[in-house]
Amino acid sequence: MEKFLSDEIYEDSYEPILEFILSPHIRSGEFEGNEHIIKKMDQCNYIIFVEYPDKDMTAREIHNAFAIFRNDLIKGINRYAKKNNIDISKYENFEQDYSLQYYYN
């Protein structure tokens, strides 16, 4: 997680990443960062990994993947951003507002 945060979370990327994570209009998909891919499996589950295409660009190798729950991802991103003086005021309360009950009711 620390490598993902240090590679991907900075002033210009913070908001687009959180918009991808929080958007109820994106049910699944991928966000391509500088080094890492954030794969949205559904509204609550994500897989983060580094991908390397092969020489022919026909296949990809995935290294160091980890799965993470939405709330934990948001908390980690916000903690890292705050520690690095990125303004989190727009998104700082989302980690408390989202639960499985919110999505399935």
pLDDT in 10s for each residue of the chain, 105 residues: 999 999 999 999 999 999 999 998 898 999 999 889 999 999 899 999 998 777 776 777 787 899 999 999 999 999 999 999 998 888 777 655 554 444 443
Instruction: State the pLDDT at residue 9.
Output: 95
The string over 71-81, giving b where at least 16 C-beta atoms fall within 10 Å of a residue's C-beta and e elsewhere, is: bebbebbbebb
pTM of the model as a whole: 0.81
- Residue 79 is given by DSSP the state H
Separation of CA 30 from chain center? 9
